[in-house]
Structure 1
Amino acid sequence: MKTMSAKAAKNGFGLLLDTARAEPVTIEKHGRPVVVVISVEEFGRLSAELGEAQAEAARGNKIK
């Protein structure tokens, strides 16, 4: 996972977008991680996984 400062993300927004399409990017402010930027495809995949896990939990199955 790549890491960028908030200032670098602001000044290089195009680079942030290009990088986040390939892999998650952690944005740091004052040296501390504050957000992670991910592609819409990765967000969709994670949302689907979460939905499946919640459905299993609702059926009474344990989440692995």
Structure 2
Amino acid sequence: MDTLSANEAKTHFGDMLLKAQRAPIQISKNGKPVAVVISADEYASIEKLKLQLLQSRAVQARADIAAGNLVDGDSFFDELEAGHHD
């Protein structure tokens, strides 16, 4: 992934937009990544994948509930806070 400083992105905004149509462009400020510019099509694809994942998890949750495969709420949130997920 190409990386531009915030100043370079500002100075070469039009060129950056053209490049973002082909591949994501990372923007850094003070040497740290702060943003990624992507095409509108790529953004739409990401949002579609997120929706599909959410829908899949909802279907699995309904199946788990119907099968009686339940977990204690405190345990669920403890695992969620610890960063564990299926």
When normalised by structure 1's length, the TM-score is 0.91
Q: How many residues align?
A: 62
The amino acid across from 1:9 in the alignment is A
Structure 2 residue runs of 5 or longer lacking an equivalent are 62-85
Write the distance in 2 (CA, Å) between the matches of 1:15 and 1:5.
14
Name the one with the larger strand percent. 1
* Higher RCO (C-alpha 8 Å, min separation 6): 1
Q: Please report how far the alpha carbon of residue 60 of structure 1 lies from its aligned counterpart in structure 2 after TM superposition.
A: 1.2
RMSD: 1.3
Give the structure 1 partner of residue 29 of structure 2: 29
Give the structure 1 partner of residue 38 of structure 2: 38
1:1-64 matched pairs, under 5 angstroms: 1-60=1-60
The amino acid across from 2:54 in the alignment is Q
Q: What's the % identity of the aligned pairs?
A: 35
When normalised by structure 2's length, the TM-score is 0.69
Structure 1 moving runs of 4+ over 3 Å:
none
User: What SS does structure 1 have at the residue aligned with 2:60?
Assistant: coil
Structure 1 residue runs of 5 or longer lacking an equivalent are none
